[in-house]
Amino acid sequence: MTRSDDQADESNRRLWTLAIFAAMVLAGIAMMARGPVIVELGEAFDAPEWQLGLIAPAGTAGYLVVIAFVGFGAGHLDAQRFVTLGLVGSALALLAMGIAPVLAVFLLAVLIRGTMNGVVRGLNRPLLSHFYPDSRGRVYGYYDMAWAAGAVVGPLLVIAAVALLDWRLTYYALAAGMGALALLVWRLDAPAVESSEEPIDRADVAALLRRPEVVGMAAAMFFGTGVEGGLFIWLPTYANGELPSHLASITLSVMIAGYVPARFVYGRVADRVGYLRLLLPILVALVPLFYVTFVYAEGLWILACVAAIGAGIGGIFPLLISYATEAVPHHSGPVTAIAAVSSSLGVGSVPALMGVVISGSDATLAMQLLLVPLGLALVVLVAARVAERRREAAASPDA
């Protein structure tokens, strides 16, 4: 291969990376726009709360099924064709959400958008894994930082759209962005990767699910992202009882804003420090931080603590998935699928249990009970680290 060919491949890889990161930004915007849009939907469609509550499961249902299918089939699929298909489908679904005349059409579009998002997300991380096999932790950290940046923008975009014209403008803008990305990916050369994704069969799946790194990731992911999901849903409710309304309304944005610099830093140091060595002190620090935040903190100290929680908890997903992928780099697609299923189950179940607590008590007790899954995540990581050290000792020539 000539030097000009190498330069062309490097340029193409950078454009692919840019497109993947941009898709993640748009995904973050779309997800976190749901909260403020729900209020507008209730007024626009005169819909009761139970119907509006279907938006989250509609988006998750299609996403979970498809990301699992695409993730486990990543070694067999034409990445460029499927990513383009997912982006085009997302653009059309977002456009349909914007023009929806009734809530039923909006919900159907949300379901399709979740499905198309699963196609893109199921292939994005495996592509990055094979673009940058020597720096997965750094690139995964930046990838998830892109989602966080979009998540911060999402509610602000809805506010701006309503101020300018109508909430529907939010989805027109997102559709235009997805359409532009689809055109870019379609016009790019096929991705030239440094390592390859191996097709997986039934025996490989069974072996993968027995890997201690994958089991540890899935368990810690369930508990850790469950805490994250609980904060996403119930932190504003808790804040409404502790802060003035103008401050309570920004607590979630403050928390997610903490993700952005933290994920950048984790991405910079993860490959050098080691994923579990970095995750363990983060979890150890989060336990007393949660206790102080939801037992003692008052006034503006709540916002400061929430920002610190965001900086810590934002590292759980990217560092865990990097840890598992490093163990089986030739099956990064299935690892992505397992992480998505585990995290989605955690994000869905923990907030639901918190809702039961809140209905019988108050939001303060529910937030304090988040220490339970947080502590369980820490226990899993300690066990994973002990197992890792034993493997390292067994592999050492001096052992």
Burial of 366 (0-12, 13-18, 19+ CB in 10 A): buried
Are residue 68 and residue 134 in the same domain, yes or no? Answer: yes
Residues with Cβ within 8 Å of 398's Cβ and at least 6 positions away in sequence, in order, are none
Q: How many CB atoms lie within 10 A of CB 346?
A: 25
Are residue 173 and residue 205 in the same domain, yes or no? Answer: no
Q: Give the C-alpha separation, 143 to 73, whole Å.
A: 22
- What confidence score (pLDDT) does residue 347 get? 83
Helix, strand, coil share of the chain (percent; to 5): 85, 0, 15
- What confidence score (pLDDT) does residue 119 get? 92
Are residue 338 and residue 223 in the same domain, yes or no? Answer: yes
The residue with tokens 């997302």 is 90
Per-residue pLDDT of the chain (399 residues; tens, 9 = 90+): 566 666 777 888 899 999 999 999 999 999 888 877 877 888 888 887 677 777 877 887 788 888 888 877 766 778 899 999 999 999 999 999 999 999 999 999 999 999 999 999 988 888 888 888 888 888 888 998 999 899 888 888 988 898 898 999 999 999 999 999 999 999 998 876 555 666 777 777 788 888 889 999 999 999 999 999 888 878 888 888 888 888 887 888 889 889 999 999 998 888 888 899 999 999 999 999 999 999 999 989 999 999 999 999 999 999 999 899 888 888 888 888 899 889 888 887 888 788 878 777 778 888 899 999 999 999 999 999 888 888 777 766 554
In a domain, 398, yes or no: no
DSSP letter (8 states) at residue 292? I
- What confidence score (pLDDT) does residue 395 get? 66
Examine the fold and report which residue of 197, 219, 252 is the final residue of a domain before the chain moves on: 197
Instruction: Provide the greatest CA pair distance for the chain.
Output: 71
Examine the fold and report which residue of 170, 197, 224 is the final residue of a domain before the chain moves on: 197
Beta strands in the chain (DSSP E): none
In a domain, 399, yes or no: no
H/E run at residue 47 = none
Are residue 137 and residue 217 in the same domain, yes or no? Answer: no
In a domain, 58, yes or no: yes
Q: Vertex 233, ends 288 and 70: CA angle to 5°?
A: 105
Are residue 120 and residue 174 in the same domain, yes or no? Answer: yes
Q: In this structure, what CATH number is given to the domain that contains residue 236?
A: 1.20.1250.20
Examine the fold and report which residue of 197, 212, 227 is the final residue of a domain before the chain moves on: 197
* Residue 292 tokens, joined: 């102080």
In a domain, 144, yes or no: yes
Q: What is the CB-side half-sphere exposure of residue 284 using CA atoms within 13 A? A: 8
Distances (CA, A) of 125 to 35, 140, 188, 335, 348: 26, 8, 18, 10, 22
Domain that holds residue 96: 1-197
Are residue 244 and residue 367 in the same domain, yes or no? Answer: yes
Q: Are the C-beta atoms of residues 90 and 178 closer than 8 Å to each other?
A: yes
In a domain, 5, yes or no: yes
In a domain, 356, yes or no: yes
Q: Vertex 201, ends 72 and 63: CA angle to 5°?
A: 15
Which residue, among 74, 7, 23, has the nearest Cα to 338 in the 3D structure? 74
Q: Are the C-beta atoms of residues 23 and 87 closer than 8 Å to each other?
A: yes
Distances (CA, A) of 319 to 167, 216, 222, 249, 263: 35, 12, 14, 29, 9
Burial of 192 (0-12, 13-18, 19+ CB in 10 A): middle
Domains of the chain: total: 2
Are residue 257 and residue 109 in the same domain, yes or no? Answer: no
Q: Give the C-alpha separation, 21 to 25, whole Å.
A: 6
